[in-house]
Amino acid sequence: MNERRKMISGELYNPADEELYTLRTKAHRLCMLYNRLFDTDEEERYKILYELLPYSSRDIYFQGPIYIDYGINTFIGRNFYANFNTTILDVCPVHIGDNVMFGTNVSLLTPMHSLRWQERNPKLDDDDNMIQLEYGKPITIGDNCWLASNVTVNGGVKIGSGSV
């Protein structure tokens, strides 16, 4: 199983993997481009969002700035709004339902690290490259939810529909 499959399956994986590095770099570049645009640059902003979040509804809005790790592991339903400074670290799937609103500084964080230092500390791989294994847990946010300002959702959390 390759590192990308391990990652989205919640297994220990090497985030320094070349494919994962390439995917992250693309997403980070798209976020930077999005963050440099004005609100009035709607067409260009939506074009970037659709490339960054290809499996999400077209009825989404991010105020910006945004920070998204991969984008391809995030699925957002219809009528979504996110205020300033949204962070989505989507090493595992992030599912956001319809009619969801985020306040400022909302963070969805799927990456996890071992609680045992013996597993958490960096190690050398077979080619003498320093690696630090991690894993992730998915996040699910139901329909009609509001995450107010400064909310952090960690991996493994499911928020039921209608929650505030």
Catalytic machinery residues: 113
Query: Which pair of structure tokens corresponds to residue 100?
Result: 């969801």
Q: Is the bond preceding 65 in cis, omega lying within 30 degrees of 0? A: yes
Could you give the angle at which helices 42-52 and 18-35 cross, rounded to 10 degrees? 160
Does an H or E element contain 22, and which?
Answer: helix 18-35
Q: Which of 146, 61, 149 is nearest to 105 (CA)?
A: 149
Q: How far apart are CA 143 and CA 99, in angstroms?
A: 6
Displacement of CA 62 from its chain's centroid (Å): 13
Cβ atoms of residues 99 and 60 within 8 Å: no
